[in-house]
């Protein structure tokens, strides 16, 4: 695994831990938006090494299930389990 991948992984892990610990849906939504933009989008600056299928699934779950009123704390669990393998 390259140094680049480890850097992305550590950054992602830290942001997801912070995201999961947030109690407010509004705050989770803001953090989720940052995570999707920074790690999940196909053209993201720190794109995770995950399949296009998982990338699309996660992005769609964010779009369909997240808002300022509701944002599940487990949104990134599947991505996390894949990158931790």
How much is the average pLDDT of 51-56?
A: 95
- Judge whether residue 41 has pLDDT over 90: yes
Residue 1 has pLDDT above 50, yes or no: no
Angle at 56 between CA 51 and CA 60, to 5 degrees: 150
Q: Are 40 and 78 in contact (CB under 8 A)?
A: no
Q: What's this model's pTM, rounded to 2 decimal places?
A: 0.91
Q: Is the separation of the CB atoms in 44 and 37 below 8 Å? A: yes
């Amino acid at each position: 695994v390259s140094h680049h991948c480890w850097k992305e992984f550590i950054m992602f892990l830290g942001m997801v831990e912070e995201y999961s610990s947030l109690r407010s849906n509004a705050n989770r939504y803001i953090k989720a938006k940052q995570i999707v933009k920074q790690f999940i989008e196909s053209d993201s600056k720190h794109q995770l090494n995950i399949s296009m299928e998982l990338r699309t699934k996660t992005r769609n779950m964010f779009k369909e299930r997240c808002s300022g009123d509701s944002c599940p704390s487990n949104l990134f669990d599947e991505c996390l389990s894949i990158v931790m393998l």
